Amino acid sequence: MSAGNIVQTLDKTSPRNGGTVPSIREVISMKPLDTIALILVIVGALNWGLWGLFQWDLVAFIFGGQSAALSRVVYTLVGIAGVWSITLLAKSGKSA
């Protein structure tokens, strides 16, 4: 499957085409802050998934424990990104 076919396939699932997954073009054209927020929300989701499945906190492992300053910064940024993502959801609802 060529890159063009992948883009066309993903474009068919775009919210503007009735799908629910943003197309690659829409993700690339996102504002940098929106992209950073999306990445942080994904990091948070993966961390919660690891915690739920294995009771293992990846952020704490990487940054030196749950109470380490850097871990707390990451947790805070993930929380802020989650709140920011609510605005992304609201924006996508207006265009539907």
Domain ranges of the chain: 1-30, 31-96
From first to last of its 96 residues, the chain has per-residue pLDDT tens of 555 555 555 555 555 656 566 666 666 667 888 889 999 999 999 999 999 999 999 999 999 999 999 999 999 999 999 999 888 888 776 655
Q: Token pair for residue 25?
A: 């073009």
How many CB atoms neighbour CB 14 within 10 A?
16
Predicted pLDDT of residue 30:
72
Burial grade of 17 (CB within 10 A; 0-12, 13-18, 19 or more): exposed
Predicted pLDDT of residue 77:
96
By the 8 A CB rule, do 49 and 36 touch?
no
Q: Is the dihedral of CA 25, 91, 50, 63 positive or negative?
A: positive
